[in-house]
Amino acid sequence: MAGHWAFIVGIIGNVSSFLVYLAPVPTFYQVYRKRTTGGFQSVPYSVALFSAMLWIFYAFVKTNSILLITINSTGCAIEMIYIIMYLVYAPRSARIFTAKIILLLNVGLFSLILLSTLLLSKGSKRVKVLGWICMCFSASVFAAPLSIIRQVVRTRSVEYMPFTLSLFLTISAVAWFGYGLLTNDFYVMFPNVLGFAFGAVQMLLYVVYKYMVKKVVVEPAVLEHIVAIDVQKAGVELQVPAEAISDSKEAVKANEETNGRDKGKKGEEDGLEISPA
C-alpha cells in the first residue's frame, strides 16, 4: 500500500518539477526574439543540470527509483537546451565563462564524484556517500531563494518573485518530501523540507507585499521668487560675451531702421520727407 501511494506522490512530484523546469521558457523566448541574452546569467542552468545529473547517478546506484530517473532525465534535456540557446546568443565573454563553468562543474566535478564513489565505496556505503553529496548540494540550491526573499523585503515589491514559480516549487518540495517519507529515503526527504520552508516563506511574502504600495519619496515643493537686482547699485560687474554684444547691437540697428521706414511712410502721407536717422 505504501508503495502505491509513493508512486502516486512521485507522479505529482514529476509533474510539478516538470513545470518548474519550464519556468525559464518565457525568458529564453525573449532571448530568441531579441537575439541576445541581455543581462541573464548561465550559472543557474548549469547548476540545475549538475543537480539533475547527480540525482540520476544516485537513482541508478540505489536501484528501484524510476521516478527519480524520469524527472531528472527530463530536467537534463531541458537544461541542456537552455544552455545551448544561451551559448548561441550570448556575447563572446559570456560564452567563454559558461564553457568554463560547464567544464569545471558538469564535467570535472561530476567526473570526480562518479569515479571516487565507484572506486572508493561499495554497496550500501556507496549509496550513503552519494546520498549525502546529493542532499548537501540540493540543500544549498534550495537556499538560493534567500537572496530573492531579501530583495522582496528590501524593495517591498514581488516583481522579481513570480507567485506561480513559488507555488510550483512548494508543491514539488511537498511531493518529493512525501515520496522520500513513503520510500524511507532520508536523502530525498531532508532537502525538500528546506524547499517547502523557503517556498512557504516566498508565498507568504507574496501575499503580504502584493498589495503594498512602494515607498515613494516626494520632494517638498520649492517656492520660486523673482528677485530684481540693481546692478549699478550693487556694484556688480557683468561680463557679457562679445558675440552676445554684437548680436544685441545688430538687433537694435535693425529695429531703428524699421522705425525709420515707418516714420518715412508717415511723413509722405503728411507731405513731408523724413530721412531715416
Confidence of residue 254 (pLDDT cuts 50, 70, 90): low
Number of domains present in the structure of the chain: 2
Kindly report, residue by residue over 211-231, the tens digit of the pLDDT.
Answer: 665 544 344 444 444 444 454
Q: To which residue does cell 528590501 refer?
A: 154
Q: What is the pLDDT of residue 222?
A: 47
Q: What is the pTM of this model?
A: 0.71
CB 48 within 8 A of CB 75: yes
Instruction: Tell which residue, 204, 220, 131, has the closest CA to residue 170.
Output: 204
Kindly report, residue by residue over 120-137, the tens digit of the pLDDT.
Answer: 888 889 999 999 999 988
What gap in Å lies between CA 276 and CA 267, rounded to an integer? 11
Is residue 17 located within the same domain as residue 125?
Answer: yes
Instruction: Tell which residue, 1, 15, 4, 3, has the closest CA to residue 175.
Output: 15
Kindly report, residue by residue over 15-25, the tens digit of the pLDDT.
Answer: 999 999 998 89
What residues contact 237, with CB distance under 8 A and at least 6 apart?
none
Q: What is the pLDDT of residue 83?
A: 95
Q: Report which secondary-structure segment, H or E, holds 51.
A: helix 43-62
Residue 103 lies in a domain: yes
Mean pLDDT of 1-11: 84
What gap in Å lies between CA 96 and CA 225, rounded to an integer? 59
Is residue 102 located within the same domain as residue 238?
Answer: no
Mean pLDDT of 190-204: 88
What gap in Å lies between CA 54 and CA 124, rounded to an integer? 17
Kindly report, residue by residue over 255-274, the tens digit of the pLDDT.
Answer: 666 555 555 444 444 443 43
Long-range contacts (CB closer than 8 Å, 24 or more residues apart) made by 96-99 = 97/42, 98/42, 98/46
What gap in Å lies between CA 106 and CA 79, rounded to an integer? 12
Kindly report, residue by residue over 139-183, the tens digit of the pLDDT.
Answer: 888 776 677 778 788 888 777 677 888 888 889 999 999 999 999
What gap in Å lies between CA 151 and CA 149, rounded to an integer? 5
**Cell reading at 233:** 547699485
Confidence of residue 206 (pLDDT cuts 50, 70, 90): confident
**b/e sequence 30-46, b meaning 16+ C-beta within 10 Å:** ebeeeeebeebebeebb
| Domain of 245, in residue numbers | 231-269
Is residue 14 located within the same domain as residue 49?
Answer: yes
Residue 221 lies in a domain: no
More confident residue, 73 or 38: 73
What gap in Å lies between CA 228 and CA 231, rounded to an integer? 9
Residue 223 lies in a domain: no
Mean pLDDT of 83-87: 95
Is residue 147 located within the same domain as residue 242?
Answer: no
Rounded to 5°, the CA angle 253-254-256 comes to 65
Q: What is the pLDDT of residue 223?
A: 46
Mean pLDDT of 42-52: 91
Whether residue 243 has pLDDT greater than 90: no
